[in-house]
Amino acid sequence: MLVPLLLAGLAFWYFELARRIDEAAVRDYYNEQMQAYYRFDGDWFCSSMTDDYEVVEITYTGKQRKDERLNKAESCKRTRETVAELVEIRDAKIGLPLPSWTIEVKNIEVADDRHSATVQAEGRMTVGARDLGVTKWTERLIRRNGRVFSERSNSTAWVEE
């Protein structure tokens, strides 16, 4: 009698409780993302993407527009390259300040089944008082085994020349 109850409890946890997402979990996800950025942890970003992750990016640099669609592998490669560049700046010790990154969550819409959330957010990169760029995105987050993952993101960035 105990085994079926235990299995039912584990199934409920795995298929329901460990997959529920709420606003607090979303905010925790973005706080963890900020911590990963400041410790130069590109692996965290890659591990926070689902295997079928996809990002659609539009980037404006001056009057130039660049459209891209990246899968997880491509996005991870770019993320690791960016983190490596930041580490080079940090380690060069030539007086260049590192860019600061801030995220403001604008809206969180949790699905009725509480298994996903659609988030609208804005990120700003600055050095001192100078804006280097602004990115606005809509991201679909899910939760598996108690951890939040990004499944899809659509972003538009405006980058200073």
Burial class (CB in 10 A: 0-12, 13-18, 19+), 46: middle
Per domain, the residue ranges of the chain are 21-159
What token pair was written down for 37? Answer: 């950025």
- Could you read off the pLDDT of 3-52 as tens digits, one per residue? 554 444 444 445 555 679 999 999 999 999 999 999 999 999 999 999 99
> 151 is written with which tokens?
């499944």
**The pTM is what?**
0.85
Looking at residue 16, its pLDDT comes to 52
Q: What is the structure's pLDDT at 69?
A: 98
pLDDT reading at 2 higher than 90: no
- The residue-averaged pLDDT of 51-65 equals 96
pLDDT of residue 88: 86
Q: What is the pLDDT of residue 43?
A: 95
Q: Which residues contact residue 7 at a Cβ distance below 8 angstroms, ignoring those fewer than 6 apart?
A: none
Q: 80: helix, coil or strand?
A: helix
Q: What would the pLDDT profile of 144-160 be if each residue is shown by its tens digit?
A: 988 999 999 999 999 98
Contact 29, 93 (CB under 8 A): no
Find, among 68, 72, 55, the residue nearest to 154 by Cα. Answer: 55
pLDDT of residue 66: 97
123-138 pLDDT, tens digit each: 999 988 888 899 999 9
CATH number of this structure's domain 21-159, picked from the four choices 3.80.10.10, 3.40.630.180, 3.10.450.50, 3.30.930.10: 3.10.450.50
pLDDT at 86: 85
